[in-house]
Amino acid sequence: MKDISDVEAYEQYSRVWFETERYNYRIRIGERGTGTAGDSFYIYYSEDFSTYDHYSNSAQRACITSLVSGFWHHSCNTARERNNLNGIYGRGQGTKGVWWGTFGHLTVQNTSPLKTVQMMIRN
């Protein structure tokens, strides 16, 4: 990932897999991440994927509305161990934008917009 100042960071997860459609593409994360971005993904380790037209519960629906994105939402809270990789691109979006809460290992939650993000999955 790269922020608007062209600072780059990454986070790698060695064991990630997804359940089938029957289980709402629930994400499974076996271990915490390692890298330079800080771990803002592990908290989603057992969440169903949710979108505007498909969500498992009212809490996920609230997250989709407040964060304006489909994702494996855990809660709508924007604590530093969370992210919004499917948010709105661009500056000035706040928590609705594309951000990674621990980018740069800040001690406070970081919602500075990200310029680029790649999520790569290897089988």
The whole-number average pLDDT for the span 96-122 is 81
Phi-psi category of 40—alpha, beta or left, where left has phi over 0 and alpha has psi -120 to 50? alpha
Q: What token pair was written down for 21?
A: 């459609």
Give the C-alpha separation, 70 to 61, whole Å. Answer: 9
pLDDT digits (tens, 9 = 90+) for 50-101: 998 988 888 888 888 888 999 998 777 777 788 999 999 988 888 888 999 8
pLDDT digits (tens, 9 = 90+) for 27-47: 999 999 999 999 999 999 999
Q: What's the predicted TM-score (pTM) here?
A: 0.86
Q: Which residues contact 83 (CB under 8 A, 6 or more apart)?
A: 40, 41, 99, 100, 101
Q: Which fold has domain 2-116?
A: Gamma Fibrinogen; Chain A, domain 1 (3.90.215)
Confidence of residue 11 (pLDDT cuts 50, 70, 90): very high
Looking at the chain, the whole-number percentage of residues with pLDDT higher than 70 is 93
